Chain A
Amino acid sequence: MAGPDEQRIFVASQWQLMWWRFRRHKVAVASGGVVIGFYLAVLGADFLAYADPNASEAQRSLMPPQPVYWFDGWRFSPHVYAVKGARDPQTFKRVYRADPGQKISIRFFAGGFEYRFLGLIPMTRHLIGVDGGLDAGKTIFVLGTDVQGRDLWSRLMYSTRISLTIGLFGVTVSLVLGVVLGGLSGFYGGIADTLIQRVIEILRSIPTIPLWMGLAAALPRDWSILQIYFAITIIISLLGWTELARVVRGRFLAMREEDFVVSARLVGCSQMRTIFVHMVPSFMSHIIAATTLALPAMIISETALSFLGLGLRPPAMSWGVLLQQAQNVQTVAISPWLMIPAVPVIIVVMAFNFLGDGLRDAADPYGR
């Protein structure tokens, strides 16, 4: 009875130690929080969005972000000023003038367009909104609007949903691929190993963009956005697994030699037991770390694909799509706020990197 008991203690304390080491990496911990926050946003995208991301209106085209005034006199009542727009006949820019006379107060949990929370509960409440909801013709644009007068904030929320899940799905797929293949390659070695190593080398030798283009262009275009979305995910991950495989293999190779594994073998533990009871515990941590580091790559890939017009295309909304539409001179010159979608990209990628580093350092202070 002592055997498995000790085993558990051993494993537990190992995770515990990892957690302790991880906690030392302050920024990593913070990053972890950020990441969680973003994924909450993914769940509640339509709650956080306060306007229909597709509702276009020429008369508010390219409206700069509206400053939010938190206090009315001394009373706390967040509001924005009503805005009137016109195109300047000389500069051809759209000029917007706030009218301090007309305050539009922001209501929390205000009613807005209808949606299903978590895809289940029908709701009309949104984090913020204007009293009277949409019909009042009063509007707020905390991040401004795009060319078609669509609310950037709301579009951003919906994009977050797609972009972050794409990363997640992608990583899951490449994780499976990576672990299985890397595992085979590392645990058995021999022909399996050489073969898989070749494949990896070949995949890595071919510049990714042609691969993307080839695969992405091969997708039937009459697929629905959702289908394409999944296909793209698969594509990205098809190229993403090699790195993970490498890590896994490395670990397996290292482990094979380690005493406790060897002894476990000698004692005559079944291979499964050897792998899962003895190897996997000290092993998971690395996978987690590697995965975390793979995620930002996925996210970047998504934006890159969209930039090349190979990824998700407009109607669909993703960070990549938003950025791709901001990828022009006039944006940089006269409507820079359209580049805001880059901010979440940067934050998330950073967060994932720090998180990943933290996890990896925690996983094994000695190796990488």
Chain B
Amino acid sequence: MSLAALAGQEGAGAGFHPVLPWLILALPLLGAAVNGLGAFLWRDDKRIPTIVGPAALLGSFAVVLVNFIGMSGAELHGAEVVRLWSWIVSGDLSIGVDLQFDQLSMLMCMIVTGVGSLIHIYSVGYMRDDPGYSRYFSYLNLFVFFMLVLVLGASFPLMFVGWEGVGLCSYLLIGFWYENREYANAGKKAFIMNRIGDAGFLVAMFLVFMAFGTLDFVPVLAAAEGTLAYGGALVTGITLLLFLGCTGKSAQIPLHTWLPDAMAGPTPVSALIHAATMVTAGVYLIARTSVLFALSPVSQGVVAAVGAGTALFAASIAIRQYDIKKVLAYSTISQLGYMFLAVGVGAFTAGVFHLMTHAFFKALLFLGAGAVIHAVHHAWAHGDDHGDGHGDVHHGDPNDMRNHGGLRKFMPRTFVFMWVATLAIAGVPPLAGFFSKDEIIWYSGAYGYPILWGVALATALLTAVYMARLMVMTFHGGNRTFGHRGAAEAGRRLHEVPAVMWAPLAVLAVLSVVGGWANIPEALPLLPTVEWLHHWLEPVFAPAIAVKEAHGFSPEYRSPVGGGEALWAGISAAIAIAAVVGTVRALSPKPVPTEAEAVAPTGFARVLHDKWYVDELYDRAIVRPSLALWRACWRIVDAGIIDGAVNGAGRAARLLGWAGGQLQTGRVTTYLVAFMLGALLVLGVLS
């Protein structure tokens, strides 16, 4: 197939047929295989991974783009399913390796391969000096492969393949520098916490199969309304279990603690996996099964409440973090909370919209942070002739914002791009985040959740504050990389990152600006693309919206305290701008202590700094008791009771044998008595 054939399709304006669907998956997989082989065979040759890694992604992106264009020109209602081969067939259960092409999956593919390509290119610069270069690209390509399986999978189990596959890659990449015990632990923690959610996903699948007799999305979603009672226990159970899976994958309360630890991985990984793509899989899952969620108002409420709660909770922690990546990690959790709020209240498009814009600006923020870390790390490393080695002991943590400051002078491009992303996430018009976040806030009010609406607004304020704080601490004021008086040395050693790294930043910056224009609200018709995304996704979400409307859930176009969409858009924009300006004003004059000089915060600030002690709580309440129980099982039940019984039986047999042996005195008389008695017995029986 080629573009010409595609043009033919477009001309026909009729059905959509995916072009080379398998290639979308095959290219990243091939890349992973080649790079993986390279990790063993040509470990020191960096040319092949440099080419193969990004090329696999770009190729995949190209195929996706062709299909995306083809789809936009075609009339497609429902989904186009392509079967590659049949996978698990047993009795009445039949699961194929089927790829589902619809507007939602194509949009996600665009995000995954597009942002993924940029991050691959960036990685070429970021990971240049790493000895595990080839292995890194292998994992990264493999991740994209699994992410695409997740997105394109046409059935619950196939999606689950991607779902756990990305978890695996996340595990491998978080623990990429496996020699550091902390990093390896973080990877393990991520995998296990994800597995808790995955167990929920699995049980949800079993329920779906019980109810529908199939696990393919298309028939399940089509039959959902007829099969499951609205608000019934079954659909609520299914959706809540699915949501349990989402909380694991998307780091929502109560399974959120792995994501901040996951920052142990290389920064581009954080950008790709832990910001732009994998962690949004939960949102994607809910969007994919929107009909099921629409059928259960209880689940919807739970999703929305957990989302809003997580958003506020994580934002509060982000305010008091010093590690630049931790701030962004909590920011990600918070933004994911927004997305769940959106899909929870029923504004599925808004959720996906925020997913998209978030992918742009959060990837940009992470890559920018990576650039900063890269620069600081190199500044320190070069002075010491200390080639590799991560986390330089002489100076401290390159991630710590107290070791940054005033980087504006040394990294002007990064500085600009980061500010673009900051304004975007803070919700300053006309950048991407303004449109997407505002839509979520608006709909949460419009669908009649006043408390969640208030929480969302408060979170918006906090978002602007912590992001502005991050920018001030990193780029403004005086430089602290070499202490307060190390300006000269800093000038010599701190440099802007190479083009291969800032170029992707530039692209993402552009996307962070224009990304929001994909779905201009009707109330603010500033551009001709009014509600474009809404229309694009309509075929996917129409059934769910229909279900909700049939049961009286339709948005009232006013906020809980009155006022229309345009007014409240203005108000939230004003809040964002005011918060950003106020924070910059408030923090800029204050001198920041370096990491070495810092004193531990006290009071409530300390609670926030220590992340509300959730990790400690889990450790005391779950991890340690579990381990104690497990040890008891081993030592007491297994070695004590069961083996005790077994060995006891053996000992009893031996005792019996010993007792029998005592009869054998070796004296003739004993034997004679026994013999006589025996003879007596025989005679007695005879007589």
Partners in one complex: no
Interface residues in chain A, defined as those with a beta carbon under 8 Å from any beta carbon in chain B: none
Interface residues in chain B, defined as those with a beta carbon under 8 Å from any beta carbon in chain A: none
